[in-house]
Structure 1
Amino acid sequence: MANWSLAATSVWRYTGLNFVLFLGAIQSIPSELYEAADIDGASKWQQFWSIIFPGIRRVVGLSMILAVAGCLSAFETPFIMTGGANGTATFVVKTIQEAFVYGHVGLASAMAVVLLVIVLLVTWVQRKLFPDEKVDLV
């Protein structure tokens, strides 16, 4: 039950940020594209896959990067709600415990470096899956 509570709290915490990001991305799509799709007889599903999804692709990539990095480095919610008890200790909570409870500062530093490498690797993979679009200024 503790892990379900932590998951629900995290979903609630980041829903507002994702809502604002996706709303801004969808509103930045020109309305002429929707009008042209309506004239051509495109269904709402076709409009989503042909207009909306390509328009919000960068925000989807950003949200995925933020979500994965946030999951890997989750600290505040489990530490505040449970203190890492009952099987809710994340990697970062265990790192803090190693450093400040058990006094193994070197091991905790190594754990932090490993976490950094994992986050950088996952971010690199995600950037390859969602490459930036090149914009011509001319």
Structure 2
Amino acid sequence: VLAWLGVSTDHAWLGDPTSANVSLAGVSVWRFTGLNFVLFLGAIQSIPSELYEAAELDGAGKWQQFRHIIAPSIKPVISLSAILAISGSLSVFEIPYIMTGGATGTQTFVIQTVKLAFQFNKTGLASAAAVVLLLIILLITWIQRRLVPDDKVDLV
């Protein structure tokens, strides 16, 4: 497929730090596309069809329907998706560990913590690192919740 798109196939995707991180990001995006699709599809389908009909009668186009009906209605799902994405990116482990083992500049905080615990037998330090990561994720989640308040949508 890459050769068909004109991309060189003899490139070592995971051997170069720049392309390795781009490759890992692409795999992560592909992995969570289904979850985000289901979340957003469910949120959009939960919007009453009467709102769309009323907007069409008032002369609203598709962009105006999106801006004034869909976007405010799915704001909680957008907030949830952002929180999951950011906290997940801070605690990523599986994809870089499986694909590169943390080599070529893809070692994450969690991979370092696992190596501390199981390779260097420093379980106390690894436990402390895990607690620090938890606190960082909780702090960032709290900041996100403050920046995007969970307002109830007043549709009447």
TM interval, shorter chain, is over 0.9
Q: What amino acid is the match of 1:131?
A: P
**1:80-99 paired onto structure 2 within 5 Å:** 80-99=98-117
Q: State TM-score, norm by structure 2.
A: 0.82
> What's the CA shift for 1:134?
5.4
- Which aligned pairs between 1:1-138 and structure 2 lie closer than 5 A? 1-133=19-151
In the TM superposition, structure 1's runs of 4+ consecutive aligned residues that sit over 4 Å from their partners are none
Distance across 2 between alignment mates of 1:80 and 1:134: 41
Matched length: 135
TM norm structure 1: 0.92
Q: Partners in 1 of 2:150 and 2:43 — Cα distance?
A: 15
- CA distance in 1 between counterparts of 2:114 and 2:138 reads 20
Write the deviation string for residues 22-76 of structure 1: whole angstroms up to 9, x where unpaired. 0000000011111111111112211111000011001001101110110010001
- What SS does structure 2 have at the residue aligned with 1:79? helix
What amino acid is aligned across from residue 40 of structure 2 in structure 1?
Answer: F
Question: Whose helix proportion is higher, 1 or 2?
Answer: 1
TM-fit CA distance, 1:132: 3.0
Give the fraction of aligned pairs with identical amino acids, expressed as a percent.
68
CA–CA distance in structure 2, aligned partners of residues 111 and 66 of structure 1: 21
Supply the distance in 2 between the matched residues of 1:46 and 1:119 (Cα, whole angstroms).
36
**Pairwise CA RMSD of aligned residues?**
1.4
Using the alignment, how far apart are the partners of 2:23 and 2:77 within structure 1? 27
Unpaired runs of 5+ residues, structure 2, are: 1-18
- Return the letter of the residue paired with 2:110: V
Q: Give the gaps of 5 or more residues in structure 1.
A: none
Distance 1:129 1:59 in 2: 15
